[in-house]
Homo-oligomer: A and B are copies of this chain.
């Protein structure tokens, strides 16, 4: 008999629901379309129906600990309401948590999707041996989450971890947030495709431009495929991704001095193409990284090894391991660690 929780990943396109037991074992998973166009009540009905079927199915083998829901946008943690959610318009100022708690009659926790992904990678993924970490999700946008002592670090309003809007280029590309030159403008899937368009516009006769025009579904993934085939334009785009990430990671390694930073989201599948640039920037730009990088500590970097005051406590930057399930696992984890 093992207790379990239900994790929900409520995206603008897919509604995914999973039952996960306390040991991190996935016992069931369903994926539904998020019928956003039918309105909020339809989506909540679909979600509650699926949760009830799932919890009924496993109620003989263990107790339901609660429900965690990851949602893109800004959440009011106290009231359990969505404040700003670009993909779920019409949900603001509606008591989402209270309504689901009323229907299912169990504890419901609402959380930002980047934060639940961080918690998932901390619990079962790349950071499972670390209590303190941060996760950077490179998707349509760039999200972030910080975990301290095993729990999501919210800051005062639940807004902490917005690494995607750290300024990389003060006069750089305009961002929807109102700033210019945000990390999100260089390291999201959207940014990779924009940089590809800029590249095509600057040289319409290049091999890159021909590949672009011959592929109607040209995406960050297509550009990665070109990069691994050696296309110099594609490689340069991913170097730019890595440089931007390296600058912001350097800022955060200096400011936070965490032991682990996990890079996830769809764009992270191009890790081989952009990660060398991350480490190049980090080494040059972060004195804390230079003093705590894995090879600095083994002594192979000479003098900088002596700077390490932590004696073996290293700064690790690594790929996420759970893919898109990070958010589901993290959401299911929420009721397990709620006090």
Binding site for B on A (CB under 8 A): 74-78, 83-84, 132, 144, 146, 154-163, 165-170, 177-180, 243, 247-248, 250-252, 254-259, 284-288, 290-292, 306-311, 313, 315
CB distance A256 to B155 under 8 Å? yes
CB distance A288 to B159 under 8 Å? yes
| Chain B residues within an 8 Å CB radius of A307 | 74, 83-84
CB distance A163 to B83 under 8 Å? no
Nearest B residue (CB) for A170: B247
| Chain B residues within an 8 Å CB radius of A160 | 255-257
CB distance A255 to B257 under 8 Å? no
> Chain B nearest CB: distance from A8 CB in Å?
20
CB distance B162 to A288 under 8 Å? yes
> Chain B nearest CB: distance from A101 CB in Å?
19
A178-B284, A251-B167, A287-B162 as given contacts; A257 in contact with B155, CB under 8 Å: yes
Closest 5 CB pairs of A and B: A155-B257, A157-B310, A76-B309, A162-B254, A160-B257
CB distance B156 to A132 under 8 Å? yes
CB distance B168 to A170 under 8 Å? yes
A162 to B165, CA, bound (A): 19
A259 to B168, CA, bound (A): 24
| Chain B residues within an 8 Å CB radius of A290 | 178
CB distance B161 to A250 under 8 Å? no
A78 to B76, CA, bound (A): 39
Across the interface, A157 reaches (CB within 8 A) one of B74, B251, B309, namely B309
> Chain B nearest CB: distance from A129 CB in Å?
13
A252 to B250, CA, bound (A): 13
Known: A74-B307, A75-B309, A76-B311. 13 other contacts (CB 8 A): A74-B291, A76-B309, A83-B309, A154-B257, A155-B256, A156-B259, A156-B313, A157-B288, A159-B291, A166-B255, A167-B247, A169-B170, A179-B250
